Each structure stands twice: as structure tokens, then as C-alpha cells.
Structure 1
């Protein structure tokens, strides 16, 4: 099976090399790597182009934000499976994509997710928070569960059938997409029980209290957009699960 990895970036010169290197180092032989840049004004593109033909496609043009850029990458992707790796994230070793594909084939899964480490921005060997996803069970989203988005892989046919990322959401478009694919449309899931991504701390939805409150409102909107009704505690449990990740491993 061919796998397409999409990275979107804008002025990401401080982190983009680590991200790209982690993709091009993968041992899996059939990887399409697509990079969508929002017309960076720093030396991001200089770093990108230094990798030459190790990156399958590079597009640099204005966009309507991160999720619009991801949607562009999805339209270009020719792989059977698609994964998204942000410009400040990296795969932990060269076996990640091989294990993803092997697990999806072995379980006949439509989608796969795994565990993730939040790491210090400067010292990526320093783990700040560990996200152990655990096994998905039907209805898990009702209990505030969601998988880490950078570890989420899904067959391209699901994007073709159910659409891409919503541009009506600022920070919860990834949550809405996974809610739509997994909870609403019953993608068959596989869990790879190990850390596959190191993600630098400082995500948009968690960067301030006001952003966290806005994210909570967007989480509710994600359910409404899909004609779904959460339980009374669903949206409270979702951020509480994150607090547990700081102390539990």
C-alpha cells in the first residue's frame, strides 16, 4: 500500500528540518511526501529545497490557513493511506510508517492511531506530557476521548466519501474530522500501542485560557455540524483527559 504524508508550514525554519528528516528517513519503500507552504518569508523554503527529490511535491502559495493547506495536500495525494505531520512534529524512528501500514493491513482497518509525546520546544528529548491513547471502543467520543491527530492515518477513500477539514473551525477542525470519520461514519480502527510522534509543546488550542474556552465552544460546534448530540459531561471530560496525561504513564 502506498502512503501519503502531508506537511503544511509557514515560517517554520526553526523546526521544519527535523520534521522532514523524520519522514525521509522512513524505511517503508512506498511513501509520497507532500509539503504545502503558505509562502513563507523566512528561510523555510531554502531548507525544504535542500532535500531535493526526497520530497515528492512542494507547493508554495497563499492559503486560508492550516486546514485549507491540508485540504490542498489531500487533493494532491495519490496514496491509499494519508497521514498528516505538522511542521513542528517528527516521527520518533524510521519504522513508524512500516508499522502503520503493516498494522492496517493485518487488521483490515480503515484508520489507525497511536500514542504521542509532547516534548520541549528546544530539547526534544525532554518529554513534557505523554498521550496514551488506549483502545478505541464504539462510543468512546461520548466520554471525551479522541486520538492524537498527528498519529491519525486514514484511507484516502474516506476523504473522498466524507470530505476534508472544515474551514468553519479555527482550532477544532482536526477533532471534527476525526469525530466525523470515526464516531459518525464508523471507520474501522486499529491502535498501534506505542509512541510514534514527538510533538513540540505550544499547540494553538492550549496556548491560553481564552483559546481553551474557544476550543471548547468549537468542540460543541463539531458535534452540531454532524447532527450529533454529546452527553452532558462529554465536553468537560475531553480537557480533563489532557490533565491526566501530565501525571500518568
Structure 2
């Protein structure tokens, strides 16, 4: 896995807890990358379902791993980031895969790579258990806040400046908060898919979206009016039609 290449080194970090089947997909995906100047780190939260045994069986594909209790996803991510020896970081958690074997090679061949510290790309989602080959494309957008950590490659030094991921009970968008702290001039959109992500995880829960709206308002990315509208659209299907109907009824009565 180690290379004498002069290209930047990246640390690929996988967080896992009792997810043996999904983890195997991720390990195989990392091993299939054509780019070789990387280290692979797995942070296991103390699994009891055979995950630890799978990691041991795959040790030739892994540079470092640990299996011990932690305080949740972001505690494990912070642990991985602090252990990383690479200049760049990428979190590809259990069930996530690279979009293709050339992803990292394409990123590190960018002519303007030295200009940026934070690179985010597009993605695919799928249901890894039911329909793993049915890929739904997703388009990243900094302006819309459409950024997934599985499709982000960033320099480790950013943590030294902007801190590590927040550890707050029930907060599941610490990565998004960290991303918003990065100055826009250091951010680059890689207009190709970087990852394929399972869509059954905790970050797809409805309350994740609500937290994101709140943070967008705090960071002044949306107005109070926009916050209310988006919240109502989330709770009321076809809110635009609902609002038009109510306004029409209001004016008809007068």
C-alpha cells in the first residue's frame, strides 16, 4: 500500500461498529484504488458481531486499526484524524465505497491541487443490502450545503486551525459544521462522483435535515423566512401547492 511516489499522501479512515458485511465492501473498494500513496485506518468501536475478526483477516490491506469503545461517530472520526499521517484525509465509513478505482488518481492529478485545502465531489447513493447496483446520482453544491463527508478530501492541517468534530449528544452534523468553517477560497468542487454511499444510515434520518436547517440559519446561509419555508416543505408534502391553495382561498373569501 505504501508508495515512494512524490504525490501527496492521503489517509483513508473508516469508522465502524457491528457492521461486518458492509465493512467488507469498503475494504475491498479501498484496496482496488489505482492510487497507491495512501494509508488505510480502521477505527472500530468495539464490535461484537465478527467485524473485529474480519479486520484481522484483512490486515494486509490495512495500515492501522483499533477496536475499543468510543463516544460515537465523531469521537471515532477525531481519533482517526489524529492518528493519520497523511497530508490529506478522507472518511469512507463502513458501507461506503469509491465511485471507481481511479477516483484518487484523478483528484491528485488536478493542476490546481496546491491552490485548495478542501475538495468536495459528487456521489451516488444506494441501498447496499437490497439494491447495491442501483446507483442514484447526487450533485454536490457548496451554496446549497449539499456536501457529504464520504465525497470530501481535505488537508489534515485544517483541524489544527478550525478544530475537530464537535462531540454533542444527538448532534449528527458535526462534519457539516466543520465544513462550513472552511473559507470559501480554499474550497474546490471536483465535478465527478467520489463515493457510493449506503442510504440507510443515521445521517439520512429526518432529524438530520432539521439540524442542517438550523445550522444554515446560524451561519446566515438562509434567512429566517427561508428557514420556516423549508421546514414546512419538509413536513407538508408539496408545500408550494398547499400554500398556493391557502392563499387562493384567502383572496377568494375577500
Q: 1:187 to 1:15 in 2, by over 3 A?
A: farther
User: Mind listing any 5+ residue stretches in structure 1 that lack a counterpart?
Assistant: 244-249
SS in 1 for 2:181: helix
Determine if contact 1:81/1:154 at 8 Å carries over to the other structure.
Answer: yes
2:74 is equivalent to residue 62 of structure 1: no
For residues 157 and 228 of structure 2, the distance between their equivalents in structure 1, rounded to whole angstroms, comes to 29
2:159 is equivalent to residue 159 of structure 1: yes
Partner of 2:117: 110
Question: Which of 222, 226, 229 lines up with 1:231 in the alignment?
Answer: 222
User: Mind listing any 5+ residue stretches in structure 2 that lack a counterpart?
Assistant: 1-7, 238-254
2:99 is equivalent to residue 92 of structure 1: yes
**Residues 49-102 of structure 1: CA deviation (Å, up to 9, x unaligned):** 212232110011110001100000000011111011010111122111111222
For residues 39 and 232 of structure 2, the distance between their equivalents in structure 1, rounded to whole angstroms, comes to 34
For residues 108 and 185 of structure 2, the distance between their equivalents in structure 1, rounded to whole angstroms, comes to 16
Whichever of the two has the greater Rg, that structure is: 2
Question: Which of 203, 216, 223 lines up with 2:210 in the alignment?
Answer: 216
TM-score by length of 1: 0.81
2:51 is equivalent to residue 21 of structure 1: no
- 1:197 to partner: Cα distance: 1.1
2:176 is equivalent to residue 175 of structure 1: yes
SS in 2 for 1:32: strand
- 1:186 to partner: Cα distance: 3.4
SS in 2 for 1:14: helix
Q: 1:105 to 1:73 in 2, by over 3 A?
A: farther
2:133 is equivalent to residue 125 of structure 1: yes
Aligned length: 224
Partner of 2:57: 50
**Residues 177-235 of structure 1: CA deviation (Å, up to 9, x unaligned):** 11122xxx33512222222211111131433xxxx2464146425764xxx33422268
For residues 115 and 126 of structure 1, the distance between their equivalents in structure 2, rounded to whole angstroms, comes to 16
For residues 72 and 174 of structure 1, the distance between their equivalents in structure 2, rounded to whole angstroms, comes to 14
Partner of 1:247: none
TM-score by length of 2: 0.79
Partner of 2:249: none
Aligned-residue RMSD, C-alpha: 2.6
